[in-house]
């Protein structure tokens, strides 16, 4: 099976309330799950939201994907012109300055922990505006920096759609692909099924979007994450709440199930990494609870992947 990166911060109860014992148990447990090659971890202006030294010390030999998206969203709320795709040069430079700090932290992780940062995710903010041209300029500059060997990937989030409100409101997929081509840099796309369905409001269209990214030759990773058309225990309708597979929590309202995932995996083709980004169940309070939730979702992902493999062999 394609190696899986599990989003640690979406699942962790310790993300907002600091509990080093609980997070230590969860960190070790997630890394020990079958088929898990590494973790997606957040960058919020520093290596860890609570204790950098603890995190550096506790990380096992594992692969990391670092995402600054929570930080980017906070900055966008305070400064609407902030982002790599911004037509405001001050806002664009501010985003690049933050990524310079992230780059320095990637080097700290490489030098002072057992982990290896394989991927740094980038985002085409600002919200509701921006251009492919400005994003391409930012990508060209970023590609010249040393990220300690990590690959740079644009994570596509929902774009502005006239028919409904947006969650992130970043650039459309086609503009992001155009920026990658224009930059001439060895960059790729990272897709998230949940964020595509939040944008399109249609499961088939979300999968078609993934297929279009694959056809462009730029797709390098696909994360499986759910969303719901109605409000429920994880939040409001169409919120980016990282819902689990429907099979693991039938009351979630999640549109992501085994069959939908299989179609998305097939559409993505042979990507470098899969991601699993699911929130803990509302009742999960212990590391054991969260590990059970993640394990259950991994089982569904594994089953979906097996069905794609079986169909490919039957058609060979």
Residue extents of the structural domains in the chain: 4-315
| Pairing, β 188-192 against β 219-224 | parallel
Closest listed residue to residue 39, CA positions, set 60, 15, 54: 60
Question: Nearest to residue 2, comparing CAs of 283, 312, 248, 246?
Answer: 312
- Position 76 scores a pLDDT of 97
**HEC letters along the chain:** CCCEEEEHHHHCCCCCCCCHHHHHHHHHHHHHCCCEEEEEEECCCCCCCCCHHHHHHHCCCCEEEEECHHHHHHHHHHCCCCCCCCCCHHHHHHHHHHHHHHHHHHHHHHHHCCCEEEEEEECCCCCCCCCHHHHHHHHHHHCCCCCCCCEEEEECCCECECCECCCCCECCHHHHHHHHHHHCCCCEEEEEHHHHHHHHCCHHHHHHHHHHHHHCCCEEEEEECECECCCECCECCCCCCCECCCCCCHHHCECCCHHHHHHHHHHHCCCCEEEECCCCCCCCCCHHHHHHHHHHHHHHHHHHHHHHHHHHHHHC
Tell me what pLDDT residue 72 has.
98
| CATH hierarchy code of domain 4-315 | 3.20.20.150
The string over 68-89, giving b where at least 16 C-beta atoms fall within 10 Å of a residue's C-beta and e elsewhere, is: bbebbbebbeebbbbbbbbebe
Kindly report the backbone phi and psi dihedral angles of residue 222, in degrees, each rounded to the nearest multiple of 5, phi listed first. -135, 125
pLDDT at 309: 83
Residue 57 contacts residue 20 (beta carbons within 8 Å): no
CB 60 within 8 A of CB 31: yes
pLDDT score of 247: 98
Distance in angstroms (rounded) separating the CA atoms of residues 87 and 91? 8
Structure tokens of 119? 């991927």
129 dihedral zone (left: phi>0; alpha: psi -120 to 50; beta): beta
The CA angle 28-70-174, to the nearest 5 degrees, is 110
Q: Is 40 left (phi over 0), alpha (psi -120 to 50) or beta?
A: beta
The Cα 21–Cα 36 span in angstroms is 22
Q: Which residue has the tokens 């933050």?
A: 98
What's the pLDDT at 310? 78
Cβ contacts of 232 within 8 Å, gap of 6 or more: 251, 252, 253
Per-residue pLDDT of the chain (316 residues; tens, 9 = 90+): 899 999 999 998 776 788 999 999 999 999 999 999 999 999 999 999 899 999 999 999 999 999 999 999 999 999 999 999 999 999 999 999 999 999 999 999 999 999 999 999 999 999 999 999 999 999 999 999 999 999 999 999 999 999 999 999 999 999 999 999 999 999 999 999 999 999 999 999 999 999 999 999 999 999 999 999 999 999 999 999 999 999 999 999 999 999 999 999 999 999 999 999 999 999 999 999 999 999 999 999 999 999 998 767 776 5
Burial of 16: CB neighbours in 10 Å, binned 0-12, 13-18, 19+: exposed
């Amino acid at each position: 099976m394609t190696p899986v990166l599990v989003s640690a911060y979406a699942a962790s109860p310790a993300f907002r309330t600091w509990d080093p014992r609980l997070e230590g148990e969860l960190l070790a447990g997630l890394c020990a799950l079958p088929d898990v090659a590494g973790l997606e971890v957040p960058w919020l202006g520093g290596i860890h939201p609570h204790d950098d030294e603890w995190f550096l010390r506790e990380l096992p030999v594992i692969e990391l994907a670092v995402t600054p998206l929570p930080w980017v969203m906070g900055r966008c709320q305070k400064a609407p012109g902030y982002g790599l795709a911004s037509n405001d040069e001050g806002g664009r430079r501010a985003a690049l300055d933050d990524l310079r700090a992230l780059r320095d932290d990637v080097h700290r992780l490489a030098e002072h922990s057992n982990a290896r940062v394989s991927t740094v995710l980038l985002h085409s903010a600002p919200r509701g505006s921006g251009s492919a041209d400005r994003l391409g300029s930012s990508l060209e500059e970023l590609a010249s920096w040393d990220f300690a060997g990590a690959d740079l990937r644009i994570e596509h989030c929902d774009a502005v759609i006239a028919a409904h409100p947006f969650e992130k409101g970043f650039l459309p997929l086609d503009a992001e692909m155009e920026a990658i081509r224009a930059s001439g840099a060895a960059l790729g796309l990272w897709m998230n099924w949940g964020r595509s369905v939040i944008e399109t409001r249609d499961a088939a269209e979300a999968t078609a979007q993934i297929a279009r990214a694959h056809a462009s030759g730029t797709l390098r990773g696909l994360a499986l994450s759910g969303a719901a058309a109605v409000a429920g225990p994880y939040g409001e309708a169409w919120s980016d709440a990282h819902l689990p597979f429907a099979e693991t929590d039938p009351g979630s309202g999640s549109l992501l199930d085994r069959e939908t995932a299989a179609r998305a995996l097939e559409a993505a083709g042979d990507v470098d990494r899969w991601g699993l980004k699911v929130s803990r169940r509302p009742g999960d309070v212990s590391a054991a609870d969260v590990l059970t939730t993640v394990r259950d979702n991994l089982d569904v992902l594994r089953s979906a992947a097996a069905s794609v493999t079986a169909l490919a062999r039957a058609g060979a």
